[in-house]
Structure 1
Amino acid sequence: MVFNIRDSKERTVLTVFPHEIEKVESVFIPMSDGSKLSATIWLPKDADENPVPAILEYIPYRKNDFTAIRDSVRHPYFAGHGYASIRVDIRGSGESDGFLQDEYLKQEQDDALDVLSWIEKQSWSTGAVGMIGKSWGGFNSLQVAARNHRALKAIITLCSTDDRYSDDVHYRGGNVLASDMLWWASTMLAYNARPQDPNVVGESWKENWLERLEKTPPFVEEWLSHQRRDDYWKHGSVCEDFSNIKVPVFAVSGWQDGYTDSVFRILENIPNSKGLIGPWAHEYPEVATPEPAIGFLQECLRFWDKWLKGMETGIMEEPRLISWIQDSERPAVTYEKRPGKWVADPAWPSPSVEHQSWWLSGSKLKSHFSTPAQNAAVVIPSVQEHGFYSGVFCPFGQPGDLPADQRLENGKAVVFTSEPLEETIELLGHPVFHAELSADQEDALLVVRLMDKAPTGESTLISWGMLNLTHRESHENPKKLVPGETYNVQIQLDSLGQQIPKGHQLEIAVSPTYWPSAWPSPKPVTLTLYPGSGTRLELPVRTPQTTDEKWGHFKAPETAAVMEREVIRREKRTREVIHDPINGVWKLKDFSDEGERRLLNNGVQYGSKNKNTWTIKENDPLSACAQCEWELTLKRDDRWDTKIETFSLMTSDETNFYLVNTVTAYEGTEQIFTKTWEKAIKRDHV
C-alpha cells in the first residue's frame, strides 16, 4: 500500500498560511482503561488564547513514519487555516499502547470517544470536532459518528463503506473476494508486526514488539470464519441503522476506487449529506490519479467552516451529488487523465436518471425500444482462468492496476453485444442484471461484466458484479441450489459515471467463474440462461442538464509542503499473467516494491515490498491458490534496525479452506521471532 504524494503541475504548495503553525509530537492521550494512544497535533500558535475547532484522523498506519509524508501535506494545511489537526494511531499501532486484534472493534470506537472527550477539554479547543479519513479512517468516521459523541459535529468520509460484509475486501455478492481477502489480511499481519520507535517510547520498545508479534493474530482466520452476513459483519456496518448518524456527512470517492457505491447509499439514507465522485483511485482528490485532481482541501475547509465554525460558506446549498462523467476511452491498465465533465444532481435517486431495460436475444443485447423474446436457452460453462485481466479490486493509482482490453477475457465467457448506438448516452448509477437461470450444481456463482466496445474492436470494462447463487435470497441465510431448477436473480453491478458514444456497442459477458476476484465454486459449474422477460440489463441513463455547467468549477489543488525526505530506493511495480499450456496452469504475479525513504525530521528509514501470486489450473476449481508475501524494514542508523517478513497461503478442497500464516522478525541480521498459524475452516455455501 503506497502512501506517497504524487507531484502535480497543477498543485500549489503553500508555505505561508493565515495562522502560524506549531507541531506538537508524541502527545499521549489517556484512555478509560489506563492505556495511552499516541498523537501528533498541528495547532495555530495562538490557539491557547484563541481556541479553535479540531479535526481528527484516527488510523493504524503509523504517523511517525509510514504515513508521515502523506500527513505532512494535509494536517498543517488545516492548522494553518485555523484548526487543531490531530493524527492519532489507534490502539496497537505506532507508538500507541496495546495490540490490534481486528478491524473496527468496539474497543476502537470506545477509544475514539475517549479521544473526542480529551480534545473537548483542551485549552486550545472550542469543543467542536470533525473527523476525516480515507479507507480505514473513512470507515471509523462513520462508525464513530453513529455513537453520537456530543463533540463530534460533522465528518468527511473518503473511500469507505457503510456495509462491512457486502462492500469491503472480504466478500462481494456473498463470494470470497479471493483477490483481496488474503492480501489485505497479510498486509495487516505485516503492519501490526512493526515495532514502536525507541526514540519515542524508550527501552520498552523491544518488549512491546515481541508481545505484538506474539499476540496479534492473522485477521483472515476470523474473516473466513464468518462466510455469511452475521452479527460479526453487522457490527460496524452503519447501514444497519442509518438513523444513528445525526451529524452532516461529506462522502467522497472515485470511479477507480473500490468503495464508490457507498456514496450513493449515504445520499439516499442520511438526510444531511453531500456526495462527490471524481475519476480517482483510492486516494485523496487533491493528489489522486487519474487527473483532474481538484482543490479538495479547500472544499474541506468550506465544509468545516460551516459545521465547526458556524460560517455560511454555501456548500450545503449546492447540489447533493457532484460527479464526473467519464468520456469513453480505449482500454488501458493505467490512465494519467480521464477526460469528461462534471455534472450535478439535486438529490439521489436523481430525477435526471431513467432506468432502461435492455434485453438478451440470441447473442445480441437489444435496446430498450425492443420487445423481449423467448429465445433458445444459452449454456454457460466454467472456464476457471476467466478473470486474469480484470485489474485490481481497489486501485491505489499504481501502474497496471486497471483492466486490460476485455477481448482477452471475452472468449472465456458468453458475450451478448448490442448494435452500434444511434445516439450518445450517459450512464450514472448502478446497472442491474436480472437473470432467469439454472445450474447443474448446488453451489454456483454468477459474474456479469459490462463493457464499452469501440468501433475498432477494443473492449473497455466499465462495470461488473457477482453473486453467490446460494445467497440469491439472503446473505444471512443462504440456500443450496437445486440442480436444474429455474431461479430469478439479480446482480447490482458497480456504480459508474460513463459516456458511451454514438457508434459504440455495449457488451455483457456472463460466466460462473472469475478468478482471482471470486474464489471458485467447489465443482465446475454449467449455468443455463433463459432469455426473455426475466433476463435483462437495466441501465441508469442520465439526461444531461443545462444546469450542469454551473457546477464542478473546483479550484486547483492546494497543500502544505511535503516534508523533507531522502529517497533510498524508488518504487517499482510489475504485474504478469503467466500461462503454462503444457500443464494448463495460469498464474497472476503482482509485485510492488513500494520503495525506501529516510525522513530527515526523525532519521527513520522505512521500506516495503509485496509479492502476491494467484494460481489456478484449467478445469480444476480446487487448484485455486492465493499466496502473499511482505517485507517491511524500519531502522535508524546503526542504533535500531528491524525487519518483518510475512508469508500467507490460502487453498481449499470441496469442504474446507486451508490457511497458513507465518511472521518472522529480525533485529539486524539476527532472527528474534518466528510463528506460524495453520487453520482449516469449513466452507459455508461458498
Structure 2
Amino acid sequence: MPFPVDTVQFEYDATVTMSDGLPLHINVYRPKASGRYPVIITHGIYGKDVLWQTAPPYQAAWEKMSQKLPGLCDGSTCQFMRWEMPDPERWVPQGYVVIHADSRGAGKTPGYLDPLGARETQDYKELIEWAAQQPWSSGKVGLLGISYYAINQWQVAALQPKGLAAIIPWEGAFDAYRDMSYHGGIASTLFSKLWMNTQILPNQHGNGASPFVDAITGGPAAGAAIPETVLRGSASSLLKDMLAHPYDDAYYAQRTPRAERIVVPTLSAGNWSGAGLHLRGNLEAYQQIAAQQKWLRVHTGDHFSPFYAPQSFAVQKAFFDRFLKGDETAFPDEPRVMLTIRDPKNGFRERAESAWPIERTEYQRWYLDANQLQLHQQLPQQGHSASYAARSDGLSFVMPAADTDREFTGPLMAHLWVSTSSADADFFLTLRLLDPTGRDVTFEGANAPAVPVTQGWLRLSQRAQDPARSLPYRPWHAHQAPQAVVPGDPYPIDVEIWPTSIVVPAGYRLVLTIQGQDFSFPHLTEGLFRGSAPFLHEDRDPTLYGGTNTILSGPQQASFLLLPFIPATRQDRGGAE
C-alpha cells in the first residue's frame, strides 16, 4: 500500500535483530526528505498492521471516538490508525519518525508471548537503542501511547536505554500488583480474562483463527498459522500466573519499574474515571520517579478521545518538540500539574496547580455514624455498629447536603473498624454523588459508560501496612502474607481509595457505600457495565468472603472517611489570584 502522504517514506514489516537472534517486526514511517529526525516508538501486543476501525474488538470504541471527535480524520486518512498508538500521518509531517513494533510473540513477530515480561522489556530497550543509531535518526527517541503502550514506557525507561529522551505514558498502570492485578489484595479476574481472550491471544503470532487482518496486504495480521499445540505452549497465561501469585512477590517486582531509575523528562496523563487501571499508576509514578523535569495531567471521560483530541496532540507535540528537538520555545512555562475539575452542575474545567497533591489541601475527617448511617465531621459520642450481608447492597453512609459548593480533589482513604462472621472478608468502598432528588450522578468511565466518583478495596487478611511507604492520606499495604482473622473480633483497617476530583454542588450529597462485592448502581440492573466493569473481582470463595460484615463507630472505635477538601481561591470565586 502506498503511503497517502507523498512526503512520507513507509517501510513495511522491516525487522530488527534482538540480542538473542529473534527478528522483531516493525513498521517505520519517516520523512522522505534527507535528514536526521527524532523517533517516536510504540512496541506491544495489539498489532502494528491491524486497522483500528475494522478490527472486531475495537470497532465500537472507534465509532464512539469518531462521534466525539468528528474531525478525527480531517488531517489524516486514518488508514494507519492502530489501537492506542500515535497516528503516523499526523506526526511524520511534523518532522518525526514513527515506529510501530509487534512485540515478541505478537502479530508478525515470532517467539514466546509474555506480555510485560522481562524479555519483552529488554527487546524494547534494544529497539530504542537501534532506532537512536539509524542514519535517519537524530539520536533522540520518545515513547508515546495509551494503556499497554504507557505501562511498558515506565518499564523500559527504568532500564535507561541509550537514546531515550522523553516519555508520555498516557493512562498506564505502574505498580503491577496494586494497579492492575490485585486491588487491595483482591484479584481483578474479569479484566484479566477479557483482556487475554479478546485482545492478547487473538493477535498471538501464528494464531490461524485470528480475526485480525493485515490492513496493508489483506493477509493475516498474526502471520502464518502454526499448529495449535505449539501455539498453546508459546504464550504465558496472565490469569493463571496472577492467581498463582496472590501476594506482591518477585513476579510483580519484575514487572514494576524501579521509580528511582526513571530520569527522563516525563509527561504523565491519568484519568479520574479510570479507577481499576487507568489512574493510580500515573499519579503514583509522578510522585515517585526521579525525573526532575516531570509534568502531570489528569483528565476525565473515555479512554481514547482525550488522547487523540487536537488539543492533546498539541500538548504532546510541544512536549516532544522541546525534549526531542531541543526547541526551548516549545512547552513554555507549563504548570507542573494540570487537573480537570469535575463539577457536575457548572461544568468541568481545567486548573493549573504547582504540585500533587494540591498544596492547599485540607484533609477533613468525616466520621461514620453506624446508628444513623451518616457522615459527620463530629465524632459520634456513643458507640454503635451496623451489619450487612457481604453479598448485598451493603451499607451507605450519607453526608449532609450543604448550602455552598464544596470541592474535594486529591488522594483519599477510609479508616474503619470492622468485624466479620467468616474467616476473612473483602471490603469494597465506593464514593458516590447524589443529586437533590437522591439519584446517582454518574460519570463516563475510561472503560464503562457509567462509573461512580471513585472506588477502593481491601481484603481484611491483607490489612498489614508498610509504614515506610504509607502516608497519612494514602496507606501502603505490604501484601506479603495474610494476617489472621478471628470471626467476630474487631479490626482497624485503612482502605486506600483511588484519588478523585469532585465538586459537590449545594444540595448534593456524597455517599460512602461499603459492600462485600463489586458495586452496581441501583438503577442499572442488567448487563456487564453496571458500575464497576470491567474490573470485577470474580471467583471468590463464598465460604471465606460471603459472611456478615460489621462496621463499628463511636469514640472508642472511630471510623472515618478522609477527604481532600480544596478551599476556594479568589480565582474560583471569579476574581484574580
Question: 1:114: Cα distance to partner?
Answer: 1.6
2:22 corresponding residue in structure 1 = 35
> Which amino acid is the alignment partner of residue 359 of structure 1?
Y
1:150-549 → structure 2 map (5 Å cutoff): 150-168=162-180, 170-187=181-198, 188-192=200-204, 194-195=207-208, 205-207=224-226, 211-238=230-257, 241-257=258-274, 258-270=277-289, 271-283=292-304, 285-287=306-308, 293-313=309-329, 315=331, 317-328=333-344, 339-361=347-369, 362-368=371-377, 370-382=378-390, 384=391, 386=392, 412-460=393-441, 461-473=452-464, 474-514=478-518, 517-519=536-538, 520-523=540-543, 524-532=546-554, 534-546=558-570
Aligned equivalent of 1:93? 106
The answer (yes or no) to whether the contact 2:86–2:145 under 8 Å persists in 1 is no
Q: Summarize the Cα distance change of 1:29–1:355 in structure 2 as closer, same or farther, 3 Å threshold.
A: same
CA distance in 2, matches of 1:189, 1:54: 29
Gaps of 5+ in 1: 1-14, 288-292, 330-337, 387-411, 551-686
Contact 1:343–1:549, Cα closer than 8 Å, also in 2: no
* SS at 1:538 equivalent: strand
Whether the 8 Å contact between 1:165 and 1:233 is mirrored in structure 2 is yes
Residue by residue, what CA displacement relative to the aligned partner does 1:165-185 show, whole Å, maximum 9, x if unpaired? 1111x3211012233132223
1:91-132 CA-to-partner distances (Å, cap 9, x unmatched) read 1111112131x2211111111122112112211011110111
1:118 aligns with 2:130: yes
Structure 2 CA distance for partners of 1:166 and 1:522, relative to 1, 3 Å:
same
The separation in 2 between residues aligned to 1:201 and 1:283, in whole angstroms, is: 26
Measure, in 1, the Cα distance between the counterparts of 2:187 and 2:31: 47
1:244-264: per-residue Cα shift (whole Å, max 9, x none)?
Answer: 111111111222223112222
For structure 2, the 5+ residue unaligned runs are 53-79, 442-451, 465-477, 520-532
The amino acid of 1:144's aligned partner reads V
Post-superposition shift, 1:374? 3.0
Does the CA-based 8 Å contact 1:443-1:522 persist in structure 2?
no
Q: CA deviation at 1:50?
A: 1.5
* 2:348 maps to amino acid: G
Question: What pairs with 1:99-114 in structure 2 (closer than 5 Å)?
Answer: 99-100=112-113, 102-114=114-126
Q: Distance in 2 between matches of 1:544 and 1:199?
A: 57
Q: State the alpha-carbon separation in 2 of the partners of residues 74 and 204 from structure 1.
A: 23
The letter of the residue matching 1:255 is W
Which of 245-254 and 266-275 deviates more? 266-275
In structure 2, the partner of 1:581 is none
1:204, CA displacement in angstroms? Answer: 8.1
In the superposition, the TM-score normalised over structure 2's length comes to: 0.79
RMSD of equivalent CA atoms: 2.7
* Cα offset, 1:366, TM superposition: 3.4
Alignment of 1:600-619 (within 5 A): none
Separation in structure 1 between the aligned mates of residue 569 and residue 310 of structure 2, nearest angstrom: 22
Moved more, 256-265 or 458-467: 256-265
Distance 2:306 2:155 in 1: 22
In 1, the alpha carbon distance for the partners of 2:157 and 2:424 equals 39
CA change 1:320–1:545 in 2 (3 A) is farther
Paired with 1:279 and 1:199, the residues of 2 have a C-alpha distance of: 36
Separation in 2, partners of 1:546, 1:301: 33
Within 5 Å, which residues of 2 pair with 1:72-91? 74-91=87-104
Give the length in aligned residue pairs.
487
Report the CA distance shift for 1:87/1:449 in structure 2 as closer, same or farther (over 3 A): same
Distance 1:315 1:548 in 2: 25
Superposed CA offset, 1:339-375 (max 9, x none): 311111101122132211111122243343x234333
Query: What is the CA–CA distance in structure 2 between the aligned matches of 1:428 and 1:483, rounded to whole Å?
Result: 37
Aligned partners of 1:301 and 1:451: how far apart in 2?
36
Q: Give the TM-score normalised by structure 1.
A: 0.67
CA distance in 2 between partners of 1:549 and 1:208 (Å) = 67
- The verdict on how the C-alpha distance between 1:224 and 1:286 changes in structure 2, with shifts beyond 3 A counting, is closer
CA distance in 2, matches of 1:529, 1:200: 59
Q: CA deviation at 1:320?
A: 1.5
Instruction: Provide the rounded CA distance (Å) in 1 between the counterparts of 2:221 and 2:561.
Output: 61
Q: What is the CA-CA distance between 1:286 and the residue it aligns to? A: 4.2
For residue 199 of structure 1, report the CA deviation from its aligned partner: 7.5
User: Following TM superposition, by how much is the alpha carbon of 1:54 offset from its aligned partner in structure 2, in angstroms?
Assistant: 0.6
User: What residue identity is the alignment partner of 2:559?
Assistant: T
* 1:60 match: 45
